[in-house]
Every structure is written in C-alpha cells, then in structure tokens.
C-alpha cells in the first residue's frame, strides 16, 4: 500500500497575508484625503444651514423692528451649529448685518463662512485656503 503525499495547500502563507495588508494600507492611504474632504463638506452644510436660519430670522425681526438684531439669542437661535461652528452676528444696523459661522474644528479650507446683507444684496463670504465659491458648495 502506497500512501501519496497531498500537495494541496491549506490556508495562506505569511507572505501572501503581508502582501494583502500592504495593498489594503496603500488603498486606505490614497482614499483617506477624499474621505476627509467629503466629511468636511458635509460639516460645512451645518454652518450653511445655520446661516440661512439667521437670514430668515433676521428678516422676521426686521419686519417688526427698526434695525436688524445683533445677537442670535434675540432671534431665538442657538449660537452654535451642531457644536461644529460658532455663529455670531456683527455690523447689525437698519441696512444690513453680517452673520459668521466660525469652525470649532480644524478646517483649514474654510475657517469661517459668512452671510451678510449689504446695500440690499446678500453677500456670501469665507476665509481659509479655499475660495468662497468652494466653501459655499456653489
């Protein structure tokens, strides 16, 4: 009786596993910047929504008062947008205001977003490494 030795491999070798881990690491390294940019863009939506809420509340306030409000609390709004942005109002007068959302997390591209009413025109602004157009998703 002759016994044959089985030459079939069972499982994976250490080298094969290391190659898979290295490839997965390279793919993760390439994908992370894109993922982080999408997360930041999603967070900016919170700030944009908060600034538009300020705009609508300011128009309601101005309909009943001689000037725009200079405090989000007067408008019945929170001073933060999902704890990621601090919302403030400056330059409130009878003719306009500037509402600003300042990032409370490291967003180098769009540190602040602003929405103002100046001379009857709505003005969108931003500061940081990116252009206002990019920050406002336009």
Domain ranges of the chain: 14-135
Please list the alpha-helical segments (H only) found in 65-123: none
117: pLDDT strictly greater than 80: yes
Residues 123, 25: Cα–Cα separation, whole Å: 44
Which CA distances in Å does 69 have to 53, 59, 95, 121?
Answer: 13, 10, 11, 17
**Predicted pLDDT at 5:** 61
User: What pTM value is reported for the model?
Assistant: 0.76
Per-residue pLDDT at 119: 85
Bridge partners, 86 (sequence order): 80, 102
- pLDDT tens-place string over residues 59-85: 999 999 999 999 988 998 877 776 789
CATH: 3.30.700, 1.10.287, 3.40.1350, 3.20.20. Which one for 14-135? 3.30.700
Tell me how long the chain is: 138
C-alpha distance across the termini of the chain, in Å: 80
């Amino acid at each position: 009786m002759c016994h044959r030795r089985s030459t079939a491999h069972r499982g994976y070798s250490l080298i094969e596993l290391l190659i898979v881990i290295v490839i997965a690491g390279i793919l993760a390294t390439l994908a992370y910047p894109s993922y982080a940019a999408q997360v930041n863009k999603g967070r900016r939506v919170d700030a944009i929504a908060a600034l538009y809420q300020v705009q609508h509340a300011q128009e309601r306030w101005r309909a009943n008062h001689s000037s725009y409000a200079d405090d989000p609390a007067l408008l019945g709004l929170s001073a933060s947008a999902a704890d990621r942005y601090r919302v403030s109002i400056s330059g409130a007068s009878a003719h306009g205001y500037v509402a600003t959302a300042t990032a409370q997390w490291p967003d180098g591209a769009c540190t602040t977003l602003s929405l103002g009413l100046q001379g009857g025109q709505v003005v969108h602004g931003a500061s940081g490494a990116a252009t206002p157009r990019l920050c406002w998703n336009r």
